[in-house]
Structure 1
Amino acid sequence: MKRLLTALLALLGLLGAPACFAIGPYLAGTAMPAGELPALMAQLEQKLRADGFNVVGRHLPRGLPQQGSIVVTDAKLLDAVRAAGGPAIVAAAIRVGVKSDGTVSYMNPDYWGRAYLRGQYDAAQPALRSVRERLAHALGAGAAFGGDVPEADLANYRYMFGMERIDSPRNELNAFGSFDEALRTVRDNLAKGTGQTAPVYEVVMPQAQLAVFGVALNDPDSGEGWWVNTIGADHVAALPYEIFIVGGKVYALYGRYRIALSWPALGMGQFMRIVRAPDAIHQTMGRLAGAPAP
């Protein structure tokens, strides 16, 4: 249905009606010679730093031995995230995927900016444009891939009717009396490896009372190694998953939104193969947030 709608909109554009373009979540970079992941990641990190990015994390997902991701931030994009507030904090991390065969990919800033910054997207466009240009310079500017979503749909994206959006109440995990208490709880639980997790990166904006953490989901039965292998490891730039704090509340984007946004071409049959993943992720993130067991 989504592909049919996209084709119809494209046809209308050719006929002179207002165009509504569809965009993909990832961009292909220039392939590197195959090698060991740590060495390939070190090369990419050097290129990213040379183009002004700050490297804040490196992720080698358990159960995905041929894939990894690098997480960077950008000062101007962080300013835009701070101005937007709320769940836009998840846009603070820019993820770059790398495979041991030399394949390089990275988040499409336009796609994720529309989805996460929503009403502040227009104000953030100069920062997002700069990010894309410098990612292309550092990593190469290949074609978009991973599925197509009409750009106008991204601010209120959901996989299908009745499923969660970015601002779904279901995203809330726990509430505390202060931002500092929420921050301390998440940090402590990540440090302890609660729920077979590990920290990948953190971005904290104390004055804005915003924070986001990348979380390695290492449970062999319900973690990312299981569900990513099931639906497609080419989307490694979707990882790691996040937990985030706004004020005194801790959140994680519910899987039927977060996974679908990251794999928008996912068919219902594929989604049903990981049907228990959204709740499993939510329960793990709840433990990190110190929420009572369900």
Structure 2
Amino acid sequence: ISVGAYSADALLKPFVLASKGAGTVIDKSAQVKTALTGAGFVVVGEYAPYSSANIIVVTNDELKQNAAASEFGGYGAVQRVALTEAGGEVQVSYTNPVYMSHVYRMAGDLSGVSAALEKALGRVEEFGAKGLTVKRARKYHYMFGMEYFTEPNELAEYASYEEAVQAVDSQLAKNDNGVSKVYRVDIPGKQESVFGVAMKGEGKAGKYMDDQFIMSEIDFHDVRSTAHLPYEVLVSGNKVYALYARFRIALNFPDLSMMGKHSFMNIMKTPDAIRDVLQKTVQK
């Protein structure tokens, strides 16, 4: 399917596999960054959640403008590119901008971003799910009783946007609760900023918020969905939000079963653990 030519019944998937082959994550990361900047993307952050992976986060004008035109559009202001060692090869993959535009109910479908990523990195196939139609993606939730895009966690409230964004930035810099900043992107023309956050939990109590633990339970297919990370915190106006984990995790793993070996049951405590640690991190 050519990018942007999705028919109403076409199935969109969360991720795109760009390539896989010999090499190291370090060497490939350097090549990927060169290709991305050559294609007009700005690298806003980089993050190695575990030894076999690296994630590069990018934005560009189309992403920022579309975010500005969309309610709570900051969540879709970046794309994430992952390099993962698996099965003796390095996989290069990235978030599918068109899928993201619809699950985040954005104004435009980011097909230009999709074309730019394909040109820079390649495109073998979409993966990560059986797929959702545009209509289903725009109203996505995992199942009955589970949260929608419009039901985020409200983490904190400040006197103003300026105070909120400054507080979140400085709290993340402290890395007190195992929550640290990967990137920050300010949305042009509106009081909104999105932060990418890495989460590292200690011991039994902390594991349910821990990026590596969560991914070890849910990211088990041959082609890895590493670009699910990192999680976002959004400052919009004077409030600080995060998407509810039952939505934010499910949108990238929509086919994950409820019960069984690799299932939501194994990370049952994760949504509350993530909400609690983010709240603790960003509140006054």
TM-score by length of 1: 0.86
**In structure 2, C-alpha distance between the alignment counterparts of 1:242 and 1:182, rounded to whole Å:** 15
Contact 1:87 / 1:166 at 8 angstroms: preserved in 2?
A: no
Equivalent in the alignment of 2:38 = 50
Query: 1:19 deviation in Å?
Result: 5.3
* CA 19–92 in structure 1, closer or farther in 2 if over 3 Å, else same: closer
Query: 1:77 deviation in Å?
Result: 1.8
Alignment of 1:10-49 (within 5 A): 20-35=9-24, 37-49=25-37
SS in 2 for 1:103: strand
Equivalent in the alignment of 2:4 = none
**In structure 2, C-alpha distance between the alignment counterparts of 1:205 and 1:26, rounded to whole Å:** 24
**In structure 1, C-alpha distance between the alignment counterparts of 2:31 and 2:39, rounded to whole Å:** 13
Equivalent in the alignment of 1:82 = 68
* Partner residue of 2:51 out of 56, 62, 65: 65
Equivalent in the alignment of 2:239 = 249
Percent identical among aligned pairs is 34
Residues 1:150 and 2:150 aligned together: no
Equivalent in the alignment of 2:255 = 265
Equivalent in the alignment of 2:104 = 116
**In structure 1, C-alpha distance between the alignment counterparts of 2:145 and 2:105, rounded to whole Å:** 22
Query: 1:242 deviation in Å?
Result: 0.4
Contact 1:67 / 1:236 at 8 angstroms: preserved in 2?
A: yes
**In structure 1, C-alpha distance between the alignment counterparts of 2:211 and 2:278, rounded to whole Å:** 13
Equivalent in the alignment of 1:180 = 162
**In structure 1, C-alpha distance between the alignment counterparts of 2:188 and 2:158, rounded to whole Å:** 15
Amino acid aligned to 1:102? V
Equivalent in the alignment of 1:230 = 217
Query: 1:34 deviation in Å?
Result: 2.2
Amino acid aligned to 2:22? P
Query: 1:97 deviation in Å?
Result: 1.0
* CA 250–97 in structure 1, closer or farther in 2 if over 3 Å, else same: same
Gaps of 5+ in 1: 1-17
**In structure 2, C-alpha distance between the alignment counterparts of 1:205 and 1:81, rounded to whole Å:** 7
TM-score by length of 2: 0.88
- Higher percent of residues as helix: 1
* CA 19–75 in structure 1, closer or farther in 2 if over 3 Å, else same: closer
SS in 2 for 1:265: coil
Query: 1:194 deviation in Å?
Result: 2.5
Amino acid aligned to 2:126? A
**In structure 2, C-alpha distance between the alignment counterparts of 1:283 and 1:30, rounded to whole Å:** 37
Q: Once superposed, what is the RMSD of the aligned Cα atoms?
A: 1.6
SS in 1 for 2:227: helix
Contact 2:180 / 2:199 at 8 angstroms: preserved in 1?
A: yes
SS in 2 for 1:149: coil
Residues 1:277 and 2:263 aligned together: no
